Structure 1
Amino acid sequence: MRTEPFARADLSFDAFLGGRLEIAQPRAGYRAGIDPVLLAAAVPAQAGETLLDLGCGAGVAALCVAARVPGVRLAGLEMQPAYAALACENAAHNGAEMEVLTGDVAAMPDALRQRQFDHVIANPPYFDRGAGTPAADAGREGALGEALPLADWVAAALRRCRPGGHVCVIHRAERLADLLAAMRGSVEVLPLIPRRGRAARLVLVRARKGGRAGLRLCDGWLLHEGPRHAGDGENLTRSTASVLRDAAPLPFCR
């Protein structure tokens, strides 16, 4: 766990959403990639609604939602004090208001336990440390190593979501069965396909709390063009580039 604040020299300042956001991230430690941006794009938020990001890190996912939907009121919960402070700084730097609390998803501060939100999002740690090697950096390990069971993350998100609101989670495709077992309400699954003909590595799972519709398995979202990476270009599909660069929403079943 990273407790001491980051020195400015230890940070990089990275553009997200085509420069709409500038996010400070540690040069060594957990660094956000495209996963929180895709998660944010899947949130069906509207102006005036509330959003809670569980395990918000440096605030990328929540701030991406706010950049796409001005007027969304943001809150975040982050266990590592250094990252919680960074999320506050990133929100202020980007002209957003975001209430960030330091605490554990398994034992939330009272200030959150008394509230519910229109949207609750999470990008839980992906890796089971019972079957892997911890990261050398304490902050990176805190973000990537699964200490709290995935089912507990989902249960916490559902408790903080108001009836009729949405819970949205991004995770590894191999954990889909665990996610579906924990989710409640009307559930949609969107596989994220790296390239045509390849298996999904990640899934987005979105549930409407209290909904009664059956499970919907949506057509996979293709991330990259072509059968393999060629040259120095990132060769994103046009739709994915629009999500990552232009703050476009990421639709589920159409």
Structure 2
Amino acid sequence: MPATIDPTAKTYDAFLGGAVYVHQPERGRHRAGLDAVFLAAALPDGVSGDVMDLGSGVGTAGLCAAARLSEISVTLVDIDQLILDLARDNLKDPGNATFAGRVRILDADITAKGDVRHAAGLLPDMTDHVIMNPPYYGADKFRASPDAARAEAHMLDERGLDPWIRTASDVLKPGGTLTIVFRADGLPEILETLKGRFGAIQVLPLFPHPGAAATRILVRAVRGSKAPMQLLPGVTLHASAGGTYTDLAESVLRHGKGLNLFKNG
């Protein structure tokens, strides 16, 4: 008989070398790690305005962004009530006190239809930047976890990325930026869903170590732009297979540095 998962069990984890502290589920739901930190680091130094983290979970990416960028306000958006309770705990945590006042939480379903989203507070043209770390797996390709909450955190429904990109396009101001971290083999789906909504697409591969194929990508796009796509030089995370982090990865993960690799801010 499989072990019973305690949905209330949690861990207390430090990010950015102790600049951010996060309560997150021990098991049974998505646990934040490298992807969330690199997503936050993709926002360029000096950026200002409103940042919305769609499908924020406990808020790790948004909190890391707020800790590094003093001129932004962050909205964390999720619908999982247990996760939102942990996000609220994170905003109350003394370790996050220097920036938590610039972060708020919005309980809303980002995959809902427009009128439902708008009623929940996801309004058109309301934010300057969107960041997102959507579930990586589609229901048509991977077997879902028997735990419903875990399955929801890790798997897109039959609509794929389209509701996520549609909502991002709706809430962003014209000229606003969308940044996504996703599986590298999901790039075709990203490009298809961005079509007609976003341009100036830039793709930054993340390589596990030298000689390895990229397993993750960061994608940045601009709402309403017609500029062509660019494939950027990638980032290598480890000096060797199973080895230590590269200097760049270490600076992002441990010291809270921005990547500053996307062109034109």
Same fold (TM over 0.5): yes
Write out the 4+ residue segments of structure 1 that deviate beyond 3 Å after TM superposition. 45-48
| Alignment partner of 1:101 is 2:100 | no
Residue 59 of structure 1 corresponds to 59
Residue 174 of structure 1 corresponds to 185
Q: Distance in 1 between matches of 2:260 and 2:10?
A: 33
Residues 49 and 74 (structure 1 numbering): CA distance in 2 closer, same or farther, change over 3 Å?
A: same
Choose from 239, 243, 260 the match for 1:225. 239
SS in 1 for 2:186: helix
Residues 51 and 194 (structure 1 numbering): CA distance in 2 closer, same or farther, change over 3 Å?
A: same
- Report deviation, 1:6: 6.1
Residue 238 of structure 1 corresponds to 247
Range 187-196 or range 99-108, more displaced: 99-108
Residue 37 of structure 1 corresponds to 37
Percent of aligned pairs with the same residue? 35
Matches within 5 A, 1:54-133: 54-93=54-93, 94-95=96-97, 96-97=100-101, 98-107=103-112, 108-110=117-119, 111-133=121-143
> How big is each residue's C-alpha offset from its partner over 1:77-124, in whole Å with a ceiling of 9 and x where there is no partner?
102111112112212211213221222112225212245211111100
> How big is each residue's C-alpha offset from its partner over 1:119-152, in whole Å with a ceiling of 9 and x where there is no partner?
1111000012222222244332221011241122
Q: Distance in 2 between matches of 1:6 and 1:114?
A: 35
| Alignment partner of 1:23 is 2:22 | yes
1:236 maps to a residue whose letter is Y
Choose from 182, 199, 220 the match for 1:206. 220
SS in 1 for 2:254: helix
SS in 1 for 2:164: helix
> How big is each residue's C-alpha offset from its partner over 1:146-176, in whole Å with a ceiling of 9 and x where there is no partner?
1241122112111111112110011111110
Residue 248 of structure 1 corresponds to 257
Gaps of 5+ in 1: none
Q: Aligned pair count?
A: 243
Q: Distance in 2 between matches of 1:201 and 1:165?
A: 27
Matches within 5 A, 1:123-162: 123-147=133-157, 148-162=159-173
CA contact (8 A) 1:186 1:215 kept: yes
Gaps of 5+ in 2: 1-5
Q: Distance in 1 between matches of 2:52 and 2:126?
A: 9
> How big is each residue's C-alpha offset from its partner over 1:25-61, in whole Å with a ceiling of 9 and x where there is no partner?
1111221111011111002364651011110000001
Q: Distance in 1 between matches of 2:48 and 2:131?
A: 17
> How big is each residue's C-alpha offset from its partner over 1:187-213, in whole Å with a ceiling of 9 and x where there is no partner?
110011111111111111001223332
